[in-house]
Amino acid sequence: MSMLSPFKGTFALTSPRGYRTLNGTREYHKGIDLVGKEDATVYAIADGTVYTLYEQNGFGNYIRQHTADGKRIYYGHLKSFIAKGGSFVKKGQPLGVMGATGHAFGEHLHLELRPAGSSSSSLDICEFTKIPNTFGTYCGKPQGEFSKDKTVDMLMQCGIVDSENRENWELMLSGKAPLNQQYVRILFERCCKKLLEKGVSA
Ligand SMILES: [Zn+2]
């Protein structure tokens, strides 16, 4: 399965899931903190009914999404909501805008997964999304697939693809020519890194 991303394009993981020390207090961070680098819009990573909620000293403006198999996805610290509370939102549709509401030091998205009916236990959001639980910059698409056009654009910007072989790449990426997915993924990730270094999406 490919990565489920709540952001379009590149995003950074700024705080992994697990124990961390904040202001001298050791606590278990149940989710992951992500920062969208190209687009502050937060997209649903699954299908499900969403609830728009507020928690002053916690998640701030946040969305809780209920999946068909009973999981709860939390999208915390939003600046504003796009999805309507009580509505059914499909994977890849916009939920809100990344912000710093509630208990947050800067703009980021807190993404967390919980089993139904539990406020204390959490599930492994990284296992669910396939986002590595380590600091770093990643590329994603809300539907968990490559953005085909964007991939070619990025490959061109990095000088890996030039205008002469652009057509071939587009054929490959559209599935009309044989393609090594793993190879393209590696190239794509390398490009994202390069673009970030160049400050294109910073
Ligand atoms: Zn967090």
Domains of the chain listed by start with CATH number: 9-140 (2.70.70.10), 148-198 (no CATH)
pTM score of the predicted model: 0.71
- Each residue's pLDDT tens digit, 73-115: 999 999 999 999 999 999 999 999 999 999 998 999 999 999 9
* Span from the CA of 175 to the centroid of ligand 1 (angstroms): 38
Question: Cα 154–156–157 angle (5° rounding)?
Answer: 65
- Each residue's pLDDT tens digit, 58-71: 999 999 999 999 99
* Span from the CA of 5 to the centroid of ligand 1 (angstroms): 16
Question: Which tokens sit at 104?
Answer: 């947050």
* Span from the CA of 32 to the centroid of ligand 1 (angstroms): 5
Ion ligand 1 contact residues with beta carbon within 5 A: 33, 110
* Span from the CA of 171 to the centroid of ligand 1 (angstroms): 40
* Contact assessment for residue 109 and residue 34, using Cβ atoms and an 8 Å cutoff: yes
* Contact assessment for residue 126 and residue 112, using Cβ atoms and an 8 Å cutoff: no
